[in-house]
Amino acid sequence: MTATAEPATGSQALDEVKIGGLGSSRPRVEDARFIRGRGNYVEDVTLPGMLHMEILRSPLAHARIKSIDTSAAWAIPGVKLVLTGEMAAQRNLAWMPTLSYDTQAVLATDKVRFQGQEVACVVAEDPYIAKDACDAIVVEYEALPPIVNPEQAVAPGAPLIRDDKAGQADNVAYQWEVGDKDGTDAAFAQADVVSKLRLHYPRSHPSPIENCGAVADFNNATGKLTVYLTSQAPHIVRAAVALIAELPEHLIRIISPDVGGGFGNKVPVYPGYVCAILCSILTAKPVKWIEDNTGNLSSTGFGRDMYLDSEMALTNDGKILAVRYHATTDQGAFYADAQPTKFKIGLVHSSFACYDVPVGHITAQGMYTNKAPGGVAYRCSFRVTEAMFFQERMMQAAADDLGMDQAEFRRRNLVRDDQFPYRTPFGFLTDSGQYLKCLQVGLDAIGYDDFLVEQAEARKQGRLLGIGISTMTEPLGAGNSREYDILGIKMFDSAELRVHPTGKAVLKIGAQTQGQGHETTFAQIVTHELGIPATDIVVEHGDTDHTPFGMGTYASRSTPVAGAATAMVARKIRAKARKLAAHLLEVSEEDVEWELGRFFVRGAESRGVTIQECAMAAYSNMPDGMEPGLENNAYYDPPNLTWPFACYIATVEVDPETGVWDVLRFVGVDDCGVRINPMIVEGQIMGGLTEAYAISNMQFQTYDVDGNLVGANYMDYLLPTAWETPGFELHEVVTPSPHHPIGAKGVGECAAVGGPAAYVNAVMDALRPTGVRNIDMPLLPDRVWHAAHTGQDVSGAPPFRTE
């Protein structure tokens, strides 16, 4: 079938949605294997002669290691290796660098610094034997006082957690500041009203369904190390392994097979990976390590655990003059934030980016505590989740202090459409948006005015109804290379496209799907650019030997960066195809026009060739002097971040007798620019709103006075089920990103970032008659009940009190 067979009049462009281009909700191609149990996860990888590794973890939060006796473990038949920190130290691998320029123990040598820390590992013929041998290792500890919050960390006489670090005299991990202090102070001096709020954003855990794991295979004949790894960023891991383990980079191959959820938990390099690699080198056998649930929950990258102490300067008529706050982050035992920004506290200063705030000042400090390290994970661009939660809780408190309607207060302060590009008080440049329109769509959808009437009526009968709004924009798509790097490597991303002779294509990307559906949506970008049906394109990723170098998938960056690289490489292919078309059509290139799927001769539309015909010509009939083939690659360094906007509104009813609250309705309005696959976008939003609900309602990790982790298994750390998760009513507004090739913005995190404040604001609104100003998340029934009964705020900060 050729285009020239078609009638001679009118456009013959393909119907983009029908062929699976932009705007097509084509089913996810990944699902075919996932729902049939044909996925391939690290746990599924089995290599000949493979051994199994198990990690012994510390039961104590803070203790000096006096001795480790491994003799009984070695004596168990089937045990091949018992590795301690002392042995790892001989290879200079007892410690490793973190992505935040700190160090982290691989296996403890001197002290243990959090409960669950890796102390030793065993390699055995099967995982049961390995576990038996771990149980047989005898470690003698001398307990030290544990520190479980920043206040304890700075108290006089507090034990020094990081006595391993030269020059570290206290428990402060970093200090940081941004904004205009003098300007902010001056603005506060002019304020009619100063609104204050203090709160704690609890620790939460990304809790991917698949825990971390690795199969490390060092071949001592070839010197090549192959590691199957649950990673969101395999290329970074390759670079890190080259740097940490001092192995030559060309002899390291990292393969991320199917990854069962990441949410930021699978960005860092963990001690377990280093141990598996070292054990494979030492045994010259493939070594498999699969983390268990408690191991994952108690030792890998968490999110939040951050304190806010804030003030907002306001005029009586509801204008924000300035904001200032101090934020304290609890980093755990090692400063291991997996974040690539130049800012110690990540992107927390993106808060208030959607409001027209003239000036602001933020100070922050990070504290070492005896808790698990790694603080910016969980569906969050490096602390934007805290930034937006703080912002939206402060907005509600300020509206209350002014006695002003929540929606009206936001309306008076949101950045207007004609202000873009807009410079925020902390120096970001937001790209585009229609904030007031989004807010209005949300208010109309929830029936705002009617709800306020219903709420007032209900209050007369003692029923507590509440409505909560959260509006926010967030910076997604790191980097640009000026401000974002990991271990010095700039935050670009990449794509490589090969079009085969028959017009079918393989796209290889540097990003790494963990459920986002890249294999579906990235094909759609190629379809949009080249008119090749999406079903004719296969997307590959996750094998560092066979895909281009990329920085991985987290922080909603794949579509903004790798997606842009995909569009750009497709355009390079189209440029070459145009030359081939000119050759086939025997006209000069300037006379060739493009419509979706086809080139044609300007002025003679019926004379055309399809992209598939061009592809065949690239291998069979190229013009003299042209290089054969139709493939190319692109590395994309984004000029700016993309700034999606969201408006989330929840209505709730609180049972005053039990403190239980139910979501009555939830409306979400997302503007993430051009939607590639609307179904997948909605899936991302629903997933995020579900996680936001979990965090606000039931889910948290905390520590008791002894440094024991509360929430170290899935009976205590709750994932919501379909039963309690509210229904979501989703709406869209589309403002393309002006600097992204296809106008798309990131969306993966918006709902998890902006969602929590909507729920919390709704419950606080319901409790307004009680005078309660803040309850820390999660708003557990007992906390709500105590607040409602005493009229007092409820803190959720650790230590967690038990009897």
Query: Which residues contact other proteins by CB under 8 A?
Result: 54, 127-128, 130-132, 135, 292-293, 657-660, 698, 702, 710-711, 715-716, 718, 720-721, 723-724, 780-782, 785-786, 800-803
Rounded least distance, CB 658 to other proteins, Å: 6
The answer to whether 23 touches 266, Cβ cutoff 8 Å, is no
Q: State which H helix or E strand residue 441 sits in.
A: helix 435-446
Q: State which H helix or E strand residue 599 sits in.
A: strand 598-601
Nearest CA-CA partner of 670 in 698, 694, 642, 633: 642
Of 46 and 802, which CB lies nearer to other proteins in the complex structure? Answer: 802
Nearest CA-CA partner of 614 in 583, 570, 569: 583
Whether 423 is catalytic is no
Rounded least distance, CB 756 to other proteins, Å: 17
Of 222 and 802, which CB lies nearer to other proteins in the complex structure? Answer: 802
Whether 379 is catalytic is yes
Of 130 and 187, which CB lies nearer to other proteins in the complex structure? Answer: 130
Residue from 232, 331, 365, 434 carrying the catalytic annotation: 232
Q: Locate tokens 């930034």: which residue? A: 387
Q: Is 108 exposed, middle or buried (0-12, 13-18, 19+ CB in 10 A)?
A: buried
Residue from 380, 438, 614, 647 carrying the catalytic annotation: 380
CA-to-CA distance for 133 and 131, rounded, in angstroms?
5
The answer to whether 708 touches 687, Cβ cutoff 8 Å, is no
Radius of gyration of the chain, Cα coordinates, nearest whole angstrom: 28
Rounded least distance, CB 77 to other proteins, Å: 12
- The DSSP bridge partners found for residue 140 are 67
**Six-digit token string for 85:** 């920190």
Whether 613 is catalytic is no
| Secondary structure class of 611 (helix, strand, coil) | helix
Rounded least distance, CB 794 to other proteins, Å: 10
Of 1 and 715, which CB lies nearer to other proteins in the complex structure? Answer: 715
Whole-angstrom CA distances from 62 to 162, 333, 435 are: 11, 10, 48
CA-to-CA distance for 84 and 79, rounded, in angstroms?
14
Q: Locate tokens 């983009």: which residue? A: 16
Of 400 and 655, which CB lies nearer to other proteins in the complex structure? Answer: 655
Rounded least distance, CB 76 to other proteins, Å: 11
Rounded least distance, CB 119 to other proteins, Å: 17
Rounded least distance, CB 122 to other proteins, Å: 12
Rounded least distance, CB 289 to other proteins, Å: 13
The answer to whether 701 touches 749, Cβ cutoff 8 Å, is no
Instruction: For residue 182, give every residue at least 6 positions away whose Cβ sits within 8 Å of its Cβ, in sequence order, or none.
Output: none
Rounded least distance, CB 214 to other proteins, Å: 17
Q: State which H helix or E strand residue 468 sits in.
A: strand 464-473
Q: Is 400 exposed, middle or buried (0-12, 13-18, 19+ CB in 10 A)?
A: middle
Residue from 749, 750, 773, 783 carrying the catalytic annotation: 749
How many residues can be counted in the chain? Answer: 803
Whole-angstrom CA distances from 685 to 131, 381, 514, 692, 748 are: 40, 16, 16, 10, 7
Whether 380 is catalytic is yes
Of 463 and 739, which CB lies nearer to other proteins in the complex structure? Answer: 463
Cα-to-chain-centroid distance, residue 360: 26
DSSP 558: I
CA-to-CA distance for 504 and 373, rounded, in angstroms?
46
Of 54 and 493, which CB lies nearer to other proteins in the complex structure? Answer: 54
Of 221 and 722, which CB lies nearer to other proteins in the complex structure? Answer: 722
Rounded least distance, CB 802 to other proteins, Å: 5
CA-to-CA distance for 159 and 151, rounded, in angstroms?
13
Give the other-Cβ count within 10 Å of 220's Cβ. 11
Nearest CA-CA partner of 508 in 599, 625, 632: 632
Of 352 and 661, which CB lies nearer to other proteins in the complex structure? Answer: 661
DSSP 355: B
Question: Per-residue b/e over 284-301, b at no fewer than 16 CB within 10 Å?
Answer: ebbbbbbbbebbbbbbbb
Residue from 379, 598, 675, 783 carrying the catalytic annotation: 379
Compute the CA torsion angle 755, 758, 761, 767 (nearest 10 deg). Answer: -110
Of 51 and 467, which CB lies nearer to other proteins in the complex structure? Answer: 51
Q: Would you name the residues annotated as active-site residues? A: 232, 379-380, 749
